[in-house]
A = this chain, B = another copy of it.
């Protein structure tokens, strides 16, 4: 079975393993106070254009990062605006609500919410004479790329930023698959743009070849005085803080993060083209590593014994929704096999 079902299923990139081995019996001070953590934080801030103007903290996973950071940003009576299909709305078991805040979901389109949609919601809230009885919007959450593999353009990010500032909302970006977004041929923004436009975001590691973990980036538009005790009380501070840092150090020192992402996105787009040539059109115009299709059941029957991918709900009596997901670890031979199989359908 060739694995196309996720991007966190493969163990770890060999360069990270090598770096871990080379540590030998090196000792570190605890809770991220070590020099490797400090250097890695500085490296990431620099790449985000936030040298001396931000904070990086390492977390163990995406749900933890979203839940801890959004709870840190929001006032108790505030909620976070996002798309209906957002991970915090759909697949985090109510982590945001468990920390006391509403997820305010807007319909969006193809998994994206538009600047106008956000603005309209905020205007309606402000105009409602009873709005003190309502959940106040306090932040906007987008994922980049979205759950559907879609990207926001630089202009869209700028527009959302403008609206956030006008309505005093924090702009938060979930970058679980950030690399696969940046590696898209359609991507017209950089980490530095995110540093300038978002108030906080995270650079995904778990799905991008790291041993595990995410790097949360907070700009200095956020008061981070209480962040450490807050993370600590949420169980989000690891004694071996250097361990998460290590993955990011390896991934970001020499461009490995982008190299791996580009390879995966290239594979995804070649698979997409093969399916399109067979008349199977993508459900969303995704240019990243996740590709969704409405596949004829006959094709599904022939592909699924050899290729593992997510099989969703049936769309009608003869079609089924599937997701094909490439990863930093997807081998060229796997991709080749899948493309051949598609051609022979």
Chain A contact residues, CB within 8 Å of chain B: 3, 6, 8-12, 17, 20-21, 23-31, 59-65, 67-68, 71, 75-77, 79, 90-103, 130, 132-136, 206-207, 211-212, 226, 228-230, 232-240, 243, 329, 331
Closest-CB distance, A14 to chain B (whole angstroms): 9
Chain A's interface: helix, strand, loop or mixed, by majority?
loop
* With A11-B26, A243-B212: A95-B228 Cβ-Cβ less than 8 Å: no
Are A76 and B67 within 8 A (Cβ)?
A: no
How far is B20's CA from A184's CA once the two chains are assembled, in angstroms?
A: 31
C-alpha gap A77/B71 in the complex (Å):
12
CA distance in complex: A93, B100 (Å): 11
- CB proximity of A29 to chain B, nearest CB, Å: 7
- Which residues of B are found within 8 Å of A230, using beta-carbon distances? 76-77, 93
Q: Is the CB of A329 within 8 A of B25?
A: yes
Inter-chain contact B12/A27, CB cutoff 8 Å? no
Query: Once the chains bind, are A94 and B77 in contact (CB under 8 Å)?
Result: yes
Output the least CB separation between A80 and chain B (Å): 11
What's the nearest-Cβ distance from chain B to residue A28, in Å?
Answer: 6
- Partner of A79 from B3, B95, B97, B212 at Cβ < 8 Å: B97
The 8 Å CB contact of A93, one of B17, B28, B211, B232, is: B232
Which of B20, B94, B103, B239 contacts A8 (CB under 8 A)?
Answer: B239
Docked CA distance A133–B9 (Å): 17
Given the contacts A91-B134, A101-B94, A134-B91, A240 and B228 also touching, CB distance less than 8 Å: no
